[in-house]
Amino acid sequence: MRVVTVPITEEILMSLKAGEQVLLSGLVATARDAAHNLILDTGYVPFDIKSIPVFYTGPSPAPPGLVIGSSGPTTSARMEPFIPEMLKLGMKVVIGKGEMSDETRKLFHKHGAVYLAATGGAGALASTKIKSRKIVAWEHLGPEAVSILELDNLPVFVAWDLHNGSIYTGRK
């Protein structure tokens, strides 16, 4: 299994292959529906969208003594209405779960973006790979607030690569 550290260079993005298992470390930003609406409505992106991956998750509150609660991926198809504009803002890496439309895959390819899939139902395990959490915007959204997470070897798969590979269609 390959270790990839954020920020992910263009060279590394190009080298990723659909189906490849990756251990992801470094900073990611959490953002789901409500945060995406606010980003697009206000034009304010509270993190460097060009270098920090977007993790579709809404972490549960942290139990006593832990950094964060369960942090499983959200179904990525729910974010599709926001993706065209987020890609135009420079988004290069997304972490979520499940397939999205062929139209969205083509947009990822056009913008040089990669889709990483985290394992659904493994939010408790994922939370053990998060070393810190800092809410950076819209705290009133609760779990949907934008946070910066520091990851330490979060296991993910390359779902879509820059070579038209997809784990969902078997193209590698």
The total number of structural domains in the chain stands at 1
Domain presence at residue 166: no
Tell me what pLDDT residue 121 has.
Answer: 80
Q: How far is CA 85 from the centre of its chain?
A: 16
Give the closest residue to 132 by CA, choosing from 48, 26, 60, 54: 26
Domain presence at residue 107: yes
Q: How far is CA 7 from the centre of its chain?
A: 13
pLDDT tens-place string over residues 109-157: 999 999 999 988 888 889 999 999 999 999 999 999 999 999 999 999 9
Tell me what pLDDT residue 125 has.
Answer: 86
Domain presence at residue 172: no
The domain in which residue 87 lies consists of 2-160
Domain presence at residue 171: no
Domain presence at residue 150: yes
Give the CATH number, domain containing residue 103. 3.20.130.10
**pTM for this predicted structure:** 0.95
**CA 54 to CA 39: how far, in whole Å?**
13
Tell me what pLDDT residue 66 has.
Answer: 86
Domain presence at residue 136: yes
**CA 35 to CA 155: how far, in whole Å?**
24
User: In the chain, which stretches have pLDDT less than 70?
Assistant: 171-172
Domain presence at residue 62: yes
Average pLDDT of the residues of the chain: 95
